[in-house]
Amino acid sequence: MNAIAFHHVTLTLGGRDILSEVDLAIPENAFIGVLGPNGAGKTTMMRAILGLLRPAAGIIDVLGAPATRGNASVGYMPQTRGIASTAGLCGWDFVAAAVDGHRWGLPILDAAGRRDVQRVLDLVGASDLARRPLGEMSGGERQRLLLAQSLLGSPRLLLLDEPLISLDPRYQRAMVELISSLQRELGLTVLFSAHELNPLLGALDQVLYLGGGHAALGTVDEVITGPVLSRLYGSDIEVVHLNGRIFVMSGAHEIERDDHQHDHGHGHGDGHTHHV
């Protein structure tokens, strides 16, 4: 069984087709990097998989059933938001607030709920953060708590929306290694969106690259090529391999780096000026 299948799916946002007539099948227990230029639809695709956005056309199957809101088998880690309203919460309460889908507001947990919170804190190596206020944590530490939230209830599919955003290279490496380890240990399917390919290279099974309303799914060698990316971008793209890294170039410009500099890490949806 595939973890996710798109059957002739069109996704529309603000009167614009973000993805058009997309067919794809993502296998179970795979680590998929989701990439693409600004406005390509990475966040929109995740919202559709979560059942939060109905396709304008086509069918999305998730773990063998139609995509629906509140699927307990799907965990979601959103892009980092400001923590002003939660800065006073300790790590335990921040994670506990997401039990049973109640992301904000502190529920009264039974013994099973408390065990689940402790389980996910242990999984992400954040037990030491349980009593610390969020306002005193680094970005990398808060990202681990968001990852812990997404693991509550033992989901089979994880959707991670830009978990590396605003992290320095050291924390990026640690986050990718942690998620890759959990993916193997728990037998998860992971969709991991990112603005850049290179931090994911050691973990990927496949790449899902979005652009121009279309999608290309396959191995890095199959998808990250000049011809495939030129078709998705609608312009001439060159792929350069150098010292174990891959650079996607349009003329003299490195696309992924230039896009990210224009974004500054603040985008949370689809558009022309931020990552999706």
Domains of the chain: 26-43+69-73+157-276 (3.40.50), 83-154 (no CATH)
Amino acid at 247: F
- Whole-Å CA distances, 133 to 114, 125, 145: 19, 17, 12
CA distances from 43 to 98, 139, 192, 268 (A): 20, 21, 11, 8
Write the pLDDT tens digit of every residue in 85-127.
576 789 999 999 888 655 455 667 889 999 999 999 999 999 9
pLDDT digits (tens, 9 = 90+) for 165-216: 889 999 999 999 999 999 999 999 999 999 999 999 999 999 999 999 999 9
For residues 109 and 262, what is the distance between their CA atoms, to the nearest angstrom? 43
- The structure tokens 């007539």 sit at 21
Q: Is the pTM of this model over 0.75?
A: yes
Q: Which of 70 and 253 is assigned the larger pLDDT?
A: 70
Note the helical H segments in 160-208: 169-186
> How many residues are recorded in the chain?
276
Task: Find the helix packing angle between 139-151 and 111-123, rounded to 10°.
Answer: 130
Q: Please name the residues in contact with 80: beta carbons below 8 A apart, sequence gap of 6 or more.
A: 139, 142, 143, 146, 162, 165, 166
Residue 76 in contact with residue 50, Cβ under 8 Å? yes
d(Cα 15, Cα 272) in Å, to the nearest integer?
A: 15
Look up residue 196 and give its DSSP letter. -
CA 95, 101, 102, 103 torsion-angle sign: positive
- For 126-137, how does the pLDDT look when each residue is reduced to its tens digit (9 = 90+)? 999 999 999 999
Q: Residue 1: in which H helix or E strand, if any?
A: none
Helix (H) or strand (E) holding 35: strand 31-35
pLDDT level of residue 151 (50, 70, 90 thresholds): very high
